[in-house]
Amino acid sequence: MVFGLRDFAQSHPDRVMVSDESAVYTCREFNGRVNRLINLMRATGLQTGDAAAIMSHNCSDFMVIACATALSGVSLVPVNWHFEVEEAAFIVGQARAKLLFVDELHVRVGRKAAAKANCAAVFVIGNDLDARLAQSSDQEPEEGFYASPVYFTSGTTGRPKATRLSQTPTNVPVSQALAKIRQTSLLSGITEGAVHLASGPLYHAGPLGNATPALLQGGPVFILKKFDPEDALRYIDAYKITHTLMVPIMFVRLLKLPDAVRQKYDVSSLQVVSHIAAPMPPMVKRQMIEWWGPKLIDAYGGSEIGVITRITSQEWLEKEGSVGKAISQFTINIVGEDDEVLPPGEIGQIFLVSHTEVDLEYINDPERTAAAHRNPKEFTLGDMGWLDEDGYLYLADRRVDLINSGGVNIYPAEIESVMHNHPIIEDVAVFGIPNEEWGQEVKAAVQLRPGHSPSKSLEEDIRDWLNGKIASYKIPKSVDVHEQLPRFSNGKLHRRVLRDAYWPKS
């Protein structure tokens, strides 16, 4: 097709382009399916500038829909399939989506959400969509305008807000957009011939934003329907995966596999393993580098703006804990409570100065957009951190996660990083709870490794173990054991679920 997929369909018609093992599309099949879907959406009444939502598990058709919408000027709005009716309806309605794609497992919620949101059409991924596409033309559509997806932020401080990744082109001719996307993808080594593993949920910006450029370079992209550590190793070995993106909790689960399982699989094909979404415990990263080699690239950014910093494994070994230096489009300022730019080594709010057309905007929410800006083209995602003398960024915590005990700021991520090294702790969350004298005190919730059970002495044992590793005022005053800690599907801790149980309802 004129959009760039036709070349691969002609030059490599039978090469796999996308696969989730239950549905495999060659370059020719993928191109034809995208064409049919574009023509079907246009026949349904969708035009450039409209939006279509998707509520689905990972599957090959997720990528068909992602490409067809983007290449026809329709903004794709991914919806978390964990959502119930009201939550999903809010997203679909706010996006003014005219069409909802939903997989067969979530039809009930999807149809009810679409009805509440006045969404005109629902296509069910599976037999329903297959039948509709069979009746649609595979004629090459004319080139139009490109549309990047619209993501809704997780909403830790209120209702989710819509944002468009401003580093991704939109409302420009498709050929121009693809040229920019391919140029950007070269920074991550994604060229034709790269073999990508999509291991995280595609409704998140990171996994979808990494899989799409790989497809537009001709694939193949292999999709895990749900992350399983041994399945990930099996895919890497079987399909000679060269690129993937993971979050820290995935590495933790990989490292928990028995040595015999880990040694069964060859991972030498890997070239770049990006990781995002949460700070990586140093011990975990060192173990992954020892196992996979210096192939891990950390990045800091957000759904709102994309990648802001990068750091290679070699750099990280010299700057342990850092998320890297700002890429050329940005300068980082660390800003204190009095709105002053702080010197190296001091913790403050991270502000980003954009040197290109990239800016932060929450769609249809000028107040929130303005609140995130310190100056024009200088904005924050709400995170805290500090810079060292060489300009490397280190993350602390979001403002909402800070613990203020007796006027002293305590950063949960620092304590969690140390506690992850405890021999029987599988996962840990640190947060503040009320204290009449100090305002707040430090609380820890832990998930124990398999084979370990809570004991009367566990809390004291953990506190004794921490003694000498962190300052005494940072050591949790109490420790609770949970069967499993709540995490978002992108790997981030859902601290609010734990914290809210201890705070009075307002």
Q: What angle do CA 365, 208, 71 make, to 5 degrees?
A: 80
- Report the range of poorest mean pLDDT among 2-6, 91-95, 482-486: 2-6
Alpha carbons 441 and 70: distance in angstroms, whole number? 48
Place of tokens 């203020």: 404
Predicted local distance difference test score (pLDDT) of residue 506:
46
pLDDT at 21: 84
Strands 478-481 and 439-448: parallel
Long-range contacts of 284-287 (CB under 8 A, 24+ apart): 284/248, 284/251, 284/252, 284/255, 284/420, 285/251, 285/316, 287/255
Pick 418 or 314 by higher pLDDT: 314
Query: Do residues 159 and 142 lie in contact, with contact meaning Cβ atoms separated by under 8 Å?
Result: no
Look-up of token digits 């802001």? 308
Tell me the mean pLDDT in the region 265-279. Answer: 88
Comparison of pLDDT for 469 and 238, the residue scoring more? 238
242-253 tens-digit pLDDT: 999 998 878 988
User: What pLDDT does 256 receive?
Assistant: 87
Measured in whole angstroms, the distance separating CA 374 from the mean position of its chain's CA atoms is: 26
pLDDT one-digit tens code per residue, 292-333: 999 999 988 877 778 889 999 999 999 998 999 999 889 999
pLDDT at 154 exceeding the cut of 80: no
DSSP 3-state of 234: helix
Q: Please provide the average confidence, as pLDDT, over all residues in the chain.
A: 88
Sorted by where each starts, the structural domains of the chain and their CATH numbers stand as: 5-216 (3.40.50.12780), 328-400 (2.30.38.10), 402-502 (3.30.300.30)
pLDDT at 2: 40
CA distance 52 to 482: 39
Residue 423 pLDDT class (50, 70, 90 cuts): very high
* pTM of the model as a whole: 0.80
pLDDT tens-place string over residues 164-194? 766 666 778 888 888 888 877 776 678 888 9
